[in-house]
Amino acid sequence: MEPGALLHGFRLGSAVEVDGVELNDRLGQLVSYSEKEETFTVALLNGSTRQVKPAQLAAASGFDLLVGPRHCQDFLAEEAATCLMEKGYCVLKLCQSQQEIEHAFASAKRLVESGRFDRLPEEVEEGYLGQGARARVLWLDPSDRTLQDKVLKDSDEFISTMATMLQPYCEDALGKKVDARTPALLSLSLAPAEDVAPMAADDYTLASFYNNWRRSQLKMMHFFGPEAASVTLTPKQDEDAPEEMKKDPVQISAGSHTVLLYRTTMFDMACRTSQETMILSASLLEHMDSLYLTGREEMDLDWLRCIEGPPGPGGLHINVVNLSSRLMARWDEPEAYRAGLGACTDTGVEIPFTRWDLAEYYCAIPEEAKPHQSVVMHQSYVEGIELFDFKYFQIPLNEARTMDPMQRHVLEVGAQNLFKMGITKDISSRKPHHAGVSVGLDKDDYDHIPKPPDMIGSANVQAIIANRFSFIFNLKGPNYVADTACSASLTATHLAKFMLRDQTIDKIEFHVALGIHQCLSPLAFAGSSQSHMISMRCRTFNATAGGYMRGDGCSGLTLKPGDLPEEREAIWRGSMVGQNGKSATLTAPNGIAQEEVIWKAMREAQISPSQSCVWSCHGTGTSLGDPIEVGAVRKVQNKEQRDTTLMVVTNKSQTGHLEGGAAMTSLIAAVFQVKSSMAIPCCHLRQLNPHLDQTGFRAVFNSELGTYHYSQGNVHVSSFGFGGTNAHAIFWGEDVYHAPTNTELFQKRLRQMSPPEVRVNGSDPALWDWDGPDQLILPGDKYSIEMNPDDPANAPQRWFKEDTGGEMDDGEEDVYCISGSFNDWDIEEMEDGPVCGLRTITLRVPASGQVEFRILKNGNDNEVIYPADDKCSRKLTMIYGPSAEAKNTWLAEGIPGSQMKIDFFTCRGIRSINWMQAAPSLM
């Protein structure tokens, strides 16, 4: 059977009427034909199907188009455009399940009861709903998770689909370019006797309505019922309107399953209902060229920076000027560590055989573990610590072989800090620097590893770990190792602060502070297992927290005194170290002592609790220690009312606990957080520990990468040694990763301003006036807007036209090609569509079901048209290019082996992309 062939006088896909009682039971679309049964399958408006004999069928009437399973998208768009051009409106019928529509109506009623609906201000109500209409309304937000009704979401998507399909035809049919739509407005009409007070009109409501009213070209209204609405389209008395439009008013009875599409420039619409009726509507808007900021290089826009957040400290600063790392997960550069933190990476791995044989030391059943066995088999692990570039450090091979691995590790990481200041081994050999070095650690497993007699000696005592670094790099400032257990590296860095402040007698240039830990022996695992301190992961703040995971790593930072805004990464704002003193036990945490050291650090930093943005907890992941620590934080924060929510984090849930080197990883993470105004996520946080006291505590235990929405802020770091030495540090910094450009500063200030003032002159918006740009903005138009540093941020916008531009070329002579995964990124020319600016191609969907592609102007690799996001599956996203640097692609999904039609429209600055399954053959 040939496609489109007549069967008993009908074609598959046609709209028909069948015998039935209700209208929705007899209107439908022919889907298929059974030669054996000699019956048609009809998809009815109510969503059901029926087998019908040809004698029961008749051509449908009373509407223009039917949208059902067999409708052809190209035909639908062309016919709708023809209706709009010839008579100014188009009535569509949709095949939908009546049960789903009733469910959508019930969902809307529940939202009314919950107070989500309001009545529009009187000034704009009829403009949105039609003359004589009164209703409760709700603007649909696609991202609103509380609105889950499928029918409403599908209807909203149908409006977008129709807008995309009609766009290439709009300039011919309407004489206008249409490329945008308003959000969907859901309305429940009020009964005649029902009275609901309207909202008061504000500047934003008036400006939003007036701007959309001026640009509106088409309006789509989806009627859900349950009662039919009476719609009257009255032709406007416009001298420019075609003669065929100047007729009597059009009366439409819009029951459920009805979609009305009409030209707002040709008709005034009135909508009346006798009972509560649900309608979803949106307007399709005329293209408006964007306004771009020009002369950015000459403008001084620093005053627009809108500095937000706690101010920085005064006086002499101790600055963090660079960072270094050689950590687990191959985080051998600080930026790799930053990426891992942001991605919430779990770095735990099974302990490799190169460390020791797990079969000898691991016991899976804790109750059966022997004294020499461990109940865990995981740690965070640094690869290759046995490797060492002794030639770079100019160390003889025989000496390098006998060196403690910690010495090697510290040399490698500290060398990164010096290199970033332009200091290499060769340079330091010729020129000494008066600089300090400190190393925080709490044990050296190398002492417990069997080794040949010639590798045992005083050159491997812990003090030499720091001493050797100063020796190798010719540093003549203070040099020491600090061991306060888990708080060692924060304590070591804190002590350097006092030395750097003395710029008179002992003027130190800089100080390299390092923290290190290596898990080289199974003995510490066995001892920690016997005391029930360790676990396979650090599940900090989680209900299943039961100990910490041990880990490897070395990291460091460089401190430098002075005012160094261009050189610094962050400011070491304040720090303090204290002791528990007499506690319940030597190793038990003491909340009161922790609170005391925090207060002292905050007093030195000269900040109040409300100025804390992120709090990085020691957070080892123990059921006892975490609640005590959080309790101390809560007591500090509850001394003052907060305007924002404190973000509570820890990095140990990702890195594990590096014991003596743990605090340094937290310090580096804190620097990243102030540089980005973001808080890192906590890994393994699923259910909050029930012992955490959150009473009156305005804080969130951060499980996702989040921002504290300031351009500058303070980040706290706590580190507590199991022997009772508590340390706390506070960083201040500015968001440098997201520093806005002049254009972004201008746009941000513009968003803060109130919309242009609208002067309402009567009920007809055509008589209104406003201080915004003209209705039609042409390429080359120039406007000015006045902004002053002394104006309030919400000052109203006032636009002044300075120059008038002209029309753009339609680009009809350009050729557009497509390249993608479907053709191995070869280049294929797209065909010209039925209207100017439309290019199209039909291709076969590969076995993966995904078609990744981009558009090339004139087939040139240097003129790529691309979306805002990579592998973009959204059709309404911004389109950029032509550009030679483009890497982003679109990603369309389809049925493997089926035909997919891709349309690209570009004309006079308007561009859109659309893809759909190609219409099947009518068999």
Per-residue pLDDT of 152-187, as tens digits, reads 988 999 999 899 889 888 888 888 888 889 999 999
Least confident of 17-21, 260-264, 533-537, 605-609: 17-21
The predicted model gives 66-74 an average pLDDT of: 75
Cβ atoms of residues 269 and 262 within 8 Å: yes
CB-based contact 140:108 (threshold 8 Å): no
Q: Identify the sign of the CA torsion 214, 220, 226, 229.
A: positive
Q: Which CATH number fits domain 73-286: 3.40.50.800, 3.90.850.10, 2.60.120.620, 3.60.40.10?
A: 2.60.120.620
- In this predicted structure, what is the pLDDT of residue 26? 76
CATH entry, 15-61, from 2.60.40, 2.30.30, 3.40.50, 2.40.320: 2.30.30
CATH of 318-734 given 3.30.565.10, 3.40.47.10, 2.40.50.180, 2.160.10.10: 3.40.47.10
Higher model confidence: residue 679 or residue 451? 679
Decide: 668 and 522 in contact? Cβ < 8 Å.
Answer: no
Instruction: Report residue 21's pLDDT band, with 50, 70 and 90 as the boundaries.
Output: very low
Q: With cut-offs at 50, 70 and 90, classify the pLDDT of residue 714.
A: very high
Average pLDDT of span 698-711 = 93
Higher-confidence position of 18 and 771: 771
Token pair 């996520």 is at which residue? Answer: 681
Residue type at position 74: D
Per-residue confidence band for 1, with pLDDT thresholds at 50, 70 and 90:
very low
Mean pLDDT across the chain: 89
Assign 178 to helix, strand or coil.
strand
Residue 567's identity, in one-letter code, is E
**pTM recorded for the entire structure:** 0.64
Cα(699)–Cα(346) distance, integer angstroms: 24
* Element counts in the chain: helices (H) and strands (E): 19, 46
Cβ(128)–Cβ(206) below 8 Å: no
Query: Higher pLDDT residue, 240 or 369?
Result: 369
Higher pLDDT, 742 or 656: 656
Cα–Cα distance for residue pair 730/717, rounded to 1 Å: 6
Q: How many CB atoms lie within 10 A of CB 217?
A: 22
> Reduced to 3 states, what is the DSSP secondary structure of residue 154?
helix
pLDDT at 514 over 80: yes
Neighbouring C-beta atoms of residue 275, cutoff 10 Å: 12
* pLDDT at res. 62: 75
**Each residue's pLDDT tens digit, 803-856:** 887 665 666 788 999 999 998 899 999 999 888 889 999 999 999 999 999 999
DSSP state of 437: E
- The confidence score (pLDDT) of residue 459 equals 63
CA distance 261 to 84: 8
Please count the other Cβ atoms lying within 10 Å of the Cβ belonging to residue 724: 22
Distances (CA, A) of 328 to 162, 341, 533, 845: 53, 12, 21, 43
Predicted pLDDT of residue 537: 94
Q: How far apart are CA 816 and CA 839, in angstroms?
A: 7
Q: Which amino acid is at 896?
A: P
Spatial separation of the C-alpha atoms in residues 496 and 479, rounded to whole Å? 10
Distance CA 520, CA 564 (A): 40
Query: 553's torsion region: left (phi>0), alpha (psi -120 to 50) or beta?
Result: left
DSSP helix/strand/coil, 406 = helix
Task: Pick from 42-46, 59-63, 472-476, 798-802 the range whose average pLDDT is largest.
Answer: 472-476
pLDDT of residue 874: 85
CA-CA distances (angstroms) from residue 795 to 98, 752, 753, 787? 50, 8, 5, 9
Q: For residues 761 and 123, give the distance between their C-alpha atoms in angstroms, rounded to a whole number.
A: 10
pLDDT, position 341 = 97
Q: Report which of 528, 499, 527 is spatially closest to residue 513, judged by C-alpha positions.
A: 499
Q: Where are the beta strands (DSSP E) in 45-193?
A: 49-52, 58-59, 65-67, 89-94, 118-119, 135-139, 178-181, 185-189
List alpha helices for 182-244, DSSP H: 203-215
Over residues 204-231, the pLDDT tens digits come to 999 999 999 999 999 999 999 888 999 9
Q: How far apart are CA 196 and CA 178, in angstroms?
A: 35
Task: Encode pLDDT of 340-359 as tens digits.
Answer: 999 999 999 999 999 999 99
Contact 679, 657 (CB under 8 A): no
Structure tokens at 898: 């089926």
**What are 295-320's pLDDT values in tens digits?**
655 566 677 776 789 999 988 899 99
**pLDDT computed for residue 456 by the predictor:** 63
pLDDT exceeds cutoff 70 at 898: yes
pLDDT for 858-870, tens place per residue? 999 889 999 988 9
Residue 158: CA atoms inside 13 Å, Cβ hemisphere, count? Answer: 24
CA–CA gap between residue 266 and residue 234 (Å, rounded): 8
Alpha helices in 114-202 (DSSP H): 122-129, 150-174
Looking at residue 720, its pLDDT comes to: 95
User: What DSSP state is assigned to residue 198?
Assistant: P
Beta carbons within 8 Å of 58's beta carbon, 6+ residues apart: 16, 17, 18
The residues pairing with 282 across neighbouring beta strands, listed in sequence order, are 220
Query: Is 332's pLDDT higher than 90?
Result: yes
Give yes or no for a contact between 788 and 820, defined as CB atoms under 8 angstroms apart: no
Residues facing 572 on adjacent strands: 731
363-402 burial: b if 16+ Cβ within 10 Å, else e: beeeeebeeebbbbbbbbbbeebeebebeebebeeeeeee
What the block records as the tokens of 914 is: 């659309």
Please report which confidence band the pLDDT of residue 923 belongs to, taking 50, 70 and 90 as the band edges: very low
Is the separation of the CB atoms in 676 and 668 below 8 Å? no
Structure confidence at residue 762 (pLDDT): 85
Crossing angle for the helix pair 122-129 and 203-215, nearest 10 degrees?
30
C-alpha dihedral, 64 to 70 to 74 to 75, nearest 10°? -30
3-state secondary structure of 297: coil
DSSP 724: S
189 falls in which pLDDT band (50, 70, 90)? very high
User: What is the share, in percent, of the chain residues with pLDDT greater than 70?
Assistant: 94
Q: Yes or no: say if 240 and 271 are a contact pair by the CB < 8 Å rule.
A: no
CA dist 532 and 541 (Å) reads 18
Q: Identify the band that residue 240 occupies on the pLDDT scale cut at 50, 70 and 90.
A: low
- CB burial class (10 A; 0-12, 13-18, 19+) of residue 32? middle
User: Is the per-residue pLDDT at 776 higher than 80?
Assistant: no
Question: Could you give the 3-state DSSP secondary structure of residue 493?
Answer: helix
681: tokens are 């996520």
Residue 665, C-beta contacts closer than 8 angstroms, at least 6 positions apart: 325, 327, 337, 515, 553, 555, 651, 655, 658
Cβ neighbours for 774, distance < 8 A, ≥ 6 positions apart? 781, 801
CATH architecture for the domain at 816-917: Sandwich (2.60)
Length of the chain equals: 923
Q: Which two tokens stand for residue 619?
A: 């957070």
Cα distance between residue 398 and residue 396, in whole Å: 6
Domain locations along the chain: 15-61, 73-286, 318-734, 742-801, 816-917
Please report how many Cα atoms fall inside a 13 Å half-sphere around the Cα of residue 410, on the Cβ side: 33
> What confidence score (pLDDT) does residue 148 get?
72
Going along 504-585, which residue ranges are E strands?
Answer: 511-517, 553-561, 570-579
Residue 225 DSSP code: E
Return the number of other C-beta atoms located less than 10 Å from residue 510's C-beta: 24
pLDDT for 807 equals: 61
- State the average pLDDT over residues 462-486: 96
The pLDDT assigned to 526 comes to 92
Give the Cα separation of 285 and 104 in Å (integer): 27
Give me 498's structure tokens. 């006092």
More confident residue, 111 or 740: 111
Question: Which segment of 107-116, 287-296, 412-421 scores lowest on mean pLDDT?
Answer: 287-296
User: Which amino acid is residue 572, in one-letter code?
Assistant: W
Looking at residue 749, what DSSP letter applies?
A: H
